[in-house]
Structures are given as structure tokens and as C-alpha cells.
Amino acid sequence: MAEKIRVTVWNEFRHEKSSDVVGKIYPKGIHAAIAAHLKKQDGITTRLAALDDPEHGLTEAVLKRTDVLIWWGHMAHHEVKDEIVDRVQRRVLDGMGLVVLHSGHFSKIFQRMMGTTCNLWWRDGDKARYWVVAPNHPIAAGLGPYFELPEEEMYGEFFDIPAPDELVLIGWFSGGEVFRSGCCFNRGHGRIFYFQPGHETLPTYHDANVLRVITNAVRWTAATEGAGKREFGHRAVPLEKRG
Amino acid sequence: MAEKIRVTVWNEFRHEKSSDVVGKIYPKGIHAAIAAHLKKQDGITTRLAALDDPEHGLTEAVLKRTDVLIWWGHMAHHEVKDEIVDRVQRRVLDGMGLVVLHSGHFSKIFQRMMGTTCNLWWRDGDKARYWVVAPNHPIAAGLGPYFELPEEEMYGEFFDIPAPDELVLIGWFSGGEVFRSGCCFNRGHGRIFYFQPGHETLPTYHDANVLRVITNAVRWTAATEGAGKREFGHRAVPLEKRG
Amino acid sequence: MAEKIRVTVWNEFRHEKSSDVVGKIYPKGIHAAIAAHLKKQDGITTRLAALDDPEHGLTEAVLKRTDVLIWWGHMAHHEVKDEIVDRVQRRVLDGMGLVVLHSGHFSKIFQRMMGTTCNLWWRDGDKARYWVVAPNHPIAAGLGPYFELPEEEMYGEFFDIPAPDELVLIGWFSGGEVFRSGCCFNRGHGRIFYFQPGHETLPTYHDANVLRVITNAVRWTAATEGAGKREFGHRAVPLEKRG
Amino acid sequence: MAEKIRVTVWNEFRHEKSSDVVGKIYPKGIHAAIAAHLKKQDGITTRLAALDDPEHGLTEAVLKRTDVLIWWGHMAHHEVKDEIVDRVQRRVLDGMGLVVLHSGHFSKIFQRMMGTTCNLWWRDGDKARYWVVAPNHPIAAGLGPYFELPEEEMYGEFFDIPAPDELVLIGWFSGGEVFRSGCCFNRGHGRIFYFQPGHETLPTYHDANVLRVITNAVRWTAATEGAGKREFGHRAVPLEKRG
């Protein structure tokens, strides 16, 4: 793929304004922090979008020019309009990558793509380790056997998702839990990656390994675009006879 | 499981009344034909439900007493109320089995559980063969290497579903297509089986092998009930600290 | 399956004689401890076999009358004769269940079935927790969300196995590691379950939850026998024309 | 990956000399025909190796400089020395890609990597169609919904392999069979692709779509090399305490 990967980083963008703690860690928002890293990488361009933008910043025109959508939300999932969720789902099934972060597990779009509750257990403030269980997967590129975060919100099993098509990372928490923390899904012509770390009160998105995984996930979920998808008309033709 | 498996067979139940062809093959409806076979099997009881029943025959009370729901629909998918779809989805995630037949691929409940369009290609009237590709799977019990239907509506790939957790049957059609015709999915505490044959204008649900697969699928999707699910409180506790 | 499940419990059976510590925990051997539990369960009969028996206790006649083989070995994997490994592999592919315990990960038969090194990291003496990540799986029947062992040898990722067909348990270790501790594989007509706990110096096989998982695994790996496998000739016919 | 992908194309290379039919289609051998195509592609270099070369052309030095090994064999599988099979297996688990073609399903190396018999049904001379069932997979890049071969040896299910990690192509044969014709496997740090077409008496390896799939498979199986595998020491450290 000679062209650049066009990433739209979507953020609820409320905590940063309502909480001093969050505002100090992410003064311009979680989305801006992630985008600042991504746009320094070869072959990636970024755009920001937020809940309070018109159409949540996700117009048809924006989605059409988006190869990978990154999603962070937490307390306002219910404010995302169903018609925008429909639109994002269609675009994912049509080939756009989707990277869902942390509390985005409860977003309408992730629940929609999974078909399950996406429920889990949680608790504040454990030490966390993320173990690579698929060392030949592109999303594990450049990682060691594991990486650590000194503090991260605990997310624990049972995580109510379909079994991932590929499981890349398993999280360990000092309080006694485990989690499928890095999960790959193929849906339609699109690819989805769920990545568990990222609590808003912690500087998770300034961590080098976390940013590396997100960057790898952008490249992996975008890779369907390079796979000739656009050239060939492999779309199902429903309810009509073929010529 | 000492108790019997309680199956509710749901049918759109329109074609049988509007079409002489269909009415002659299934005078009491597709659901009644399937139920007639199932209730002769050891340890299975049946109930019928249809689109035009109050609440589509799927009240909370009925679903609570249903271990496995079989679903056949075709031309009136859009008439199924979203609140009933919500209810069925919750019950599947809570452990109820779901067996989706043929044109049920486009039902709201199947699309909801899959997260994809469930689109496919189709054509009338091919000879069909169904090959077992997971011979040790309980749903293949009693089948030979393959079974045939002299005529069946062709459903062809690409079938827009998540990769099944287990693929049991691949369909072959004389006109040149293949299809993932027997697909197992785990979702939440429930199990789902999609089974492709069953066009309303053909006597598919009188075929011994088709009925055998449906019976096996009832037992397999019900088996979570015997798996201790009810006894242990393995429900995720979202957004609350544990004791 | 009206008949009983015939389980052969195989043990290297050396540590119990060479080590006082092990001998006190398992005076008649690990295999005898496991069999003592299994034979109290409905519909299960047991037989013992050990490395130093003629043909390692695994003659053609014994294997023919074995529905599920349980395997525990540690320090003498290399003493198992290749021809016996061939024989066990053939029988698994023909439908016999295989339950591989703990240090059996390095057994010739498990490496043979997996095609990989089955390598892992290890360390003595951590507290362990086993989390259920497939709550609707028969092997999880009767378990809570997790169970604990106060002390168990740590086995850590990366565990060099093919991605399991179904992942039922993830292990957590107090020292900071995770492990895919309960893994299901389909191979040929057979089913395989790998279960990680079971160090010889610890009373792991006297633990109620560990014994429950092993009992469930016996029933699950045996279930192919009930699946009509014997009746139908679904064996591939290689290198010969049919009919 | 700035460097080129180094492909070694291995061929039994007997039929081409013993059969006029085969010799006319592949005068320099099947391996030479495949390599002639590959070396015209961007970023790929090729080397040939054959059964009758010293060490079958697969010395430690050659394998060390091989990123992807392509394997074609048919009537002399038993002549491949076990020590070379051991060597190739180690290299695959260490990250080398392996593409197994057609009758290579019965090669020692494929059986070794799978752990199963790799048995199947076969028959001469059907028309074949290959349907894409994973349209977003890199191996499907540039294909349409399906491609055809006017004549190909029929390989039919049940194909005795582990369920593939990803199923990309399903084959349809005019005589009534189906086959999992394009199968992806992850094993250790390596990737494996099995591709069914390729009978020696037919010009299959001159077909544009077949060559496209092989080229895509070379890139996909090589991609672990670009995934940082070499840089990070994510090798299991067996039976030794970590520092």
C-alpha cells in the first residue's frame, strides 16, 4: 500500500474537561495523545473526532476517508446515536479497521460487532503485565515476552465476547485476575482489535509499549486495504439472481 | 440432564397459508413438521410459536421455559419487533440454545448475534450434498461422510458471518457453489447452530438426515444447561466492586 | 452412550518410588489417586498403566478397550518407546480421548499430537488461580468463576502449542505469569484436553476442583464415542478410487 | 521488511524425468516453474532444492537463509530422511514460512506439523472452483469471489487436519466433492499455508490465479519476519529458572 493509512481517533472527550486529574494527564484529550504518537509513524496520517462534534465527528464523508477508526469512550456510551453506530458498522463490514480501547468494551459499536454484552469484572489500581501468546502475530511486533504497567484498572474474566479469531495478549493483574487483553476479530471485510489498557486517570497512553501495540494494531487492521479488497467485487449479491 | 430438553419451534408461518405449494408440503407449518419429529425423540418436548401470535409467541414466560429455540423465517423478518429480538438475545446470552434454519440467516436475531450482514448468494433448485468436516462433533452423530438432497435452494459463499467456532458441514451445489452449511457459535453462555437447508417449497424438513442434524443440534445447543451453568454464579459483575 | 467410559490412567510412576515427599502424597502413585476418584463417578471404569509395565501397559488390546487415556509423565519422557507413541497417536486419531496433565506437556505423545515443542517457562511454588473463560463449556461444569490452589508449580507463557480449538481456563500465578491452563484440541476423530496443574510434590490431585475438571474432561473427550463415530464409515479412503 | 523474501522451492523432481506428460508441462521441474514466476515479483528471491540433492538440498546453511520454504512431493515422501524433517520442523517453529502444495499433504513434514494423518479422498480429473471464504485475508488479495481450473485432481473431505487457524479457500469439484483447499496454520513462530491444487499431469502451476495465491502465501508466511520476531527474545526458556 503506497498510500498512507488514514486513522481517525475518536474520543468521548468528556473526562478530560470535567476532571482535573484526567485533564492534567491528557490536556488535549486522549485522542490527541494517541494521534500525536501515530502521526510520527511512517505512512500514517491522523484526524480527531469527538462525541460532541456534529454527527459525533463521524460523517459519511469522514468515514469514507478513514482506513482505521480508534474508539475510546466511557461514561457516555448511551449518547452515541444509533444511526451513527449503524454507519460505523457498515463501514467496518466494508473493510475499515476498528481499534477499540479499554472502556470502549461497553460502547454501542463494540457490542454491535460482537453480538454479546461485552461485560467483565473490574477494580481500580492494580499492577498489570501483558503476556504475548501469539509471538508471530504482527500486533506483537517489537514486544518482549511481556510488558508491564505499574498501575492500570483491572479488567477480569469472564469477558463476555465471542472467542477471538486470534488471541495476542493475556493480561495479569496483581490482585489475582487475568484478561484476554489483546483480541483480534474478522468481521465482514474488516478487522477489529480490542486492547484493554487505558484508564483515563492514568498515563497509559504515554507508555511506549502501549503506543507500540496501538500502532501495530493500526497497521494490522488496515492491512485488508492492501489485500486487493477494493479491486475485486467480492461482495455478496443478496436476494438477486446473478446474471 | 435428567429433565427433558424444552424446544420452542418458531416459524414465520406465512408461506404455508399464502402458497399452495408450501401448504401441501407443510400443511400445519414448517414448525409443526419439525416439532412432530422432535417430540418423538427421547428426552425432548416441543412447543410451537409463530410471528402472528401475541408477542410472536415469545413471551418472557415462554422463553424462560425454553432450553432451545429453533428459528425459521423468510419474507417477514422486518415484522419481528426489536423488543422481542432484544429479549431473545438476552436469553441466548444467558444460556438458551438457538438453532437458525435456512433463510433465518437474514433474521434480526441472527444478524444481532453475528454482528455482520449474514449476506450470501442464492439461486433456486440445485442438487445439494453436505459433507462432514468435523466427524467427531456431536452434531455429525449418525451421519455418513455426506448426505444428499435431490433439490435444495443454493446458498453460496461468501457468507458474511464471523468464522464459526466449529465448522461441521460444508455444502456442495451442482451449479458450482459451496457453503458453510453447518456452523457452531458460542455466544455468552449460549450456543448457536446455523443449518442451511430448508427451502419452503421443498420437502427438506421431511428428510431423515436433515431431521437428524436438527435433533443433534438441539442436544448440542442444550448441553450448556447440563454444564453446571445455572449453579455457579459466573456472571460478570459490571461496574461494581466485588464484595 | 449406555456403556461405561473406560479410562486408562497412565503414569510414569517413578517419583513416587524415588522421593519420600512424593511417596507420602501419592503412596500408590498419581495414577491411582486419580483413578480412585474417577471410579466413584457414574458411568466410569478405570485401569492403571505405567512406564515400567510391559509395553508401558499400553498394548494394542488395552488401547482397544480404552475410551480415554490420561497421561502423567515428567522425568522419563525419553524412555517411552516411539512405537508405543505411534500406537497411541493412531488410537487418538481413531477416536480415543487423551487428557494430558501438567509436565506431560513435554511427553512424546503430546508433542506428536501438537507438532510443536510444547515449551514453556516454569518456576516452583506460586499461588495459582484458574479462571473460566468459556463458561458454557462442559469441562467448566460445576466450577465457579475461578478456583484456587494455594501452591502449584508455575507454568508461564509463551506456551508453544497450536492455538487451542477451545480455551477453557487461563491460569494466574502470584509471581506474575499467566498460562493457557485448560486447552481443548480436536485431532482426527479424537479429542484432547491439556490441563496444567499437577506437580508431583504437591497434593494437587486431591483437590476437589482439579478432580472435577479431570472428570469433566474424561466425559468431554469420550463424547465422540457417543457421536455415532463407530457406526458410520467416515474414514478417508486414501490413494484409492472409491466404488 | 526492507530486505527481500528468500524463498526455497523444494520439489521431489522425479515425475518430470520419468513421465513424458509431466516433462512436457514442466520441462525444468515444478519447482522451476513456480520459482520463475516468484522471482519476477517485487522483493522476492528464489532458490531451488530437490530430493536427490545432497541432504535433499536443505542443509542447515540453506534453511538459515530461507524465509519461506515451498514443498511439492508425491511418490517419494518416504525417501525424505527423518533428520531433514526434524531440521525443517525446527526452522518452521523458529519462524520460517512453509507453503505445502497439493500431494505434499502426505509429506512427512506436513504430517509432522499437523499431528494427524492428513488423509483425504481423491479422484482424477474434475473441473474445480475455489471460493474465497475470508475475503479480507492477505492470501485472497487480488482474487475474485472464486477462480476456476478446467481440470484438477479432486481432493475431497474429510481432510484429516486440525481445524485451520484461518480458512481462506473452499474447493468445489464437478464430481460432487468439497475441500478445505486453502488453510492457514500458526505453529511456534512460523506460519504454514496448505494449498490444494497442483497435480503434476496438469498445467496448474502455469495458471495466473494459482500463482497469485502462491505469491500471496509467500508474503503472508514471511510476514512473521517483519513482525519483530528476531529482535525480541521471546523464546521459551524450558526447565531453567529465569535469571
Which residues of B lie closer than 8 Å to A, measured between beta carbons? 89, 93, 106, 112-117, 119-123, 158-160, 162-163, 165, 185-188, 234-239, 241-242
Q: What is the pLDDT of residue D124?
A: 84
Three-state SS at B54:
helix
With CA atoms as reference, report the closest residue to A88 among A105, A110, A120.
Answer: A110
Q: What is the pLDDT of residue C3?
A: 83
Contact list in D for residue B133 (CB cut-off 8 A) is 157-159, 180
Q: What is the pLDDT of residue B123?
A: 87
Contact A169, A179 (CB under 8 A): no
Contact list in B for residue C132 (CB cut-off 8 A) is 234
Least Cα separation, residue D146 to chain C (angstroms): 26
Q: What is the pLDDT of residue D3?
A: 84
pLDDT tens digit sequence for A22-72: 999 999 999 999 999 999 999 999 999 999 999 999 999 999 999 999 999
Contact A108, A204 (CB under 8 A): no
Q: What is the pLDDT of residue D228?
A: 39
Distances, alpha carbon B62 to alpha carbons B17, B38, B87, C133, C193, in Å? 25, 18, 11, 29, 37
The model's pTM is: 0.94
Whether residue A190 and residue D135 make contact (CB cut-off 8 A), yes or no, is no
Interface probe with B: pick from C67, C129, C130, C136, most Cβ of B within 10 Å = C136
- Choose among D135, D186, D228: nearest Cβ to A134: D186
ipTM over 0.90: yes
**Rounded-to-integer distance, Cα A240 and Cα A238, Å:** 6
Q: What is the pLDDT of residue B151?
A: 95
H, E, C per residue of D206-227: HCHHHHHHHHHHHHHHHCCHHH
Q: What is the pLDDT of residue B235?
A: 38
pLDDT band at residue A3 using 50, 70 and 90 as cut-offs: confident
pLDDT tens digit sequence for B23-68: 999 999 999 999 999 999 999 999 999 999 999 999 999 999 999 9
Contact A6, A66 (CB under 8 A): yes
Burial of residue B110 (CB within 10 Å: 0-12, 13-18, 19+) is buried
- pLDDT for A168 beyond 80: yes
Mean pLDDT lowest for which of A223-232, C225-234, D132-141, D191-200? C225-234
Distances, alpha carbon D172 to alpha carbons B146, B148, D129, D178, D184, in Å? 14, 15, 5, 5, 19
Least Cα separation, residue A36 to chain B (angstroms): 31
pLDDT tens digit sequence for D80-134: 999 999 999 999 999 999 999 999 999 999 999 999 999 998 888 789 999 999 9
Interaxial angle between packed helices C30-38 and C208-222, expressed in degrees from 0 to 180 and rounded to the nearest 10:
70
Residue D229 makes CB contacts below 8 A (sequence gap 6+) with A135, A136, A141, D95, D189
Q: What is the pLDDT of residue A147?
A: 95
Q: What is the mean pLDDT of residues D153-172?
A: 96
Least Cα separation, residue D172 to chain B (angstroms): 6
Least Cα separation, residue D188 to chain C (angstroms): 6
> How is the beta sheet containing A97-101 ordered, strand by strand?
A44-50, A5-11, A68-72, A97-101, A190-195, A178-187, A166-173, A121-132, A146-156
Q: Taking CB atoms and an 8 Å cut-off, how many pairs form between chains B and D?
A: 59
With CA atoms as reference, report the closest residue to A133 among B185, D167, C181.
Answer: C181
* Residue B184, all three cell numbers: 457452531
- Choose among C132, C135, C178: nearest Cβ to A170: C178
pLDDT tens digit sequence for B185-200: 999 999 999 999 999 9
Contact B149, B210 (CB under 8 A): yes
Chains in touch with C (≥3 Cβ pairs < 8 A):
A, B, D
- pLDDT for A224 beyond 90: no
Which parts of chain C have pLDDT scores under 50?
Answer: 1-2, 225-243
**Rounded-to-integer distance, Cα A173 and Cα C172, Å:** 9
- Choose among C140, C141, C227: nearest Cβ to B137: C227
- Choose among B131, B166, B176: nearest Cβ to D157: B131
**Rounded-to-integer distance, Cα A102 and Cα A207, Å:** 15
Mean pLDDT lowest for which of B216-225, C188-197, D150-159, D229-238? D229-238
Which parts of chain B have pLDDT scores under 50?
Answer: 1-2, 225-243
Pairing of strands A44-50, A97-101: unpaired
Q: What is the pLDDT of residue C7?
A: 98
Three-state SS at C57:
helix
DSSP label of C134: -
Whether residue D115 and residue C89 make contact (CB cut-off 8 A), yes or no, is yes
Q: What's the one-letter identity of residue D240?
A: E
Q: What is the pLDDT of residue C227?
A: 41
